[in-house]
Amino acid sequence: MELQFDNKVVAITGAGHGFGLVIAEDFAARGAAVYGTLAPGQPAPESISVRFSEVDLTDREAASAWIADIETKTCKSIDILINNAGGVVGRQHEPIEGLSFEDWDAVVNINLDATFTTCRAVARGMKRQGSGRIINISSNAGLRPSLTGVQAYTTSKHAVVGLTKQLAFEFGSHGVTVNCIAPGFFRSNPSSERQWQGYGDAGRAALVERIALKRLGAAKDISSACVFFASELADYVTGQVLSVDGGR
């Protein structure tokens, strides 16, 4: 079954690389009008099918304005919002007694606050049109302690799961579904690549051995999960968390 999204407007945060870029290109190939954010100063990938904008997602006004601008340009509400932006933003594990408030805020702001802000920005339009899909990318660190050891990352990803479940109830009567994807370990960005290399041969082998499928996944696996949640196949699915981790 070929799932198409013709005449659908899709907004994706963190679309410049990794999961976000693959998701954006996938929806564009399926007929959607796709808009994606880049971090300030991040070069735009070569893509003729995705409309990129530099947006500081930790700036609430800027993130909200990005959504409003898409609605103005398309003369309609967002059909599908995918909150993909996030990560440890260069932070590493520090014992909590030595963790700075600045480092805590930086991680929480991009993982949780940015997700809240874009959900808030699309709410009025989706409720008015009586349909929509919101897909939040959390992490297996949103379900258990994180391999990164970064407290703010684990906390914020757990909070994204809670926000998803609460918004599913708020949006449900308006015909809007809200779901969450929890990826396992993927070599999808510079931070995860450094983490992978840091494990050493024995650590990498042990990580793969704990996966039922005995291999790491690819960004396409996350994109496929997004396509499912955005499609008519998931019309009666909301408030759910889908672990895409090869069976941990």
Both tokens of 114, joined, read 């940015």
The contacts of residue 167 (CB under 8 Å, 6+ apart) are 119, 134, 178
End-to-end CA distance of the chain: 28
**What's the 3-state SS for 177-224?**
EEEEEEECCCCCCHHHHHHHHHCHHHHHHHHHHCCCCCCCCCHHHHHH
Which of 35, 153, 199, 236 is an active site residue?
153
Please compute, for residue 6, the number of CA atoms within 13 A of its CA located in the half-sphere on the CB side: 2
153 tagged catalytic:
yes
Catalytic residues: 153
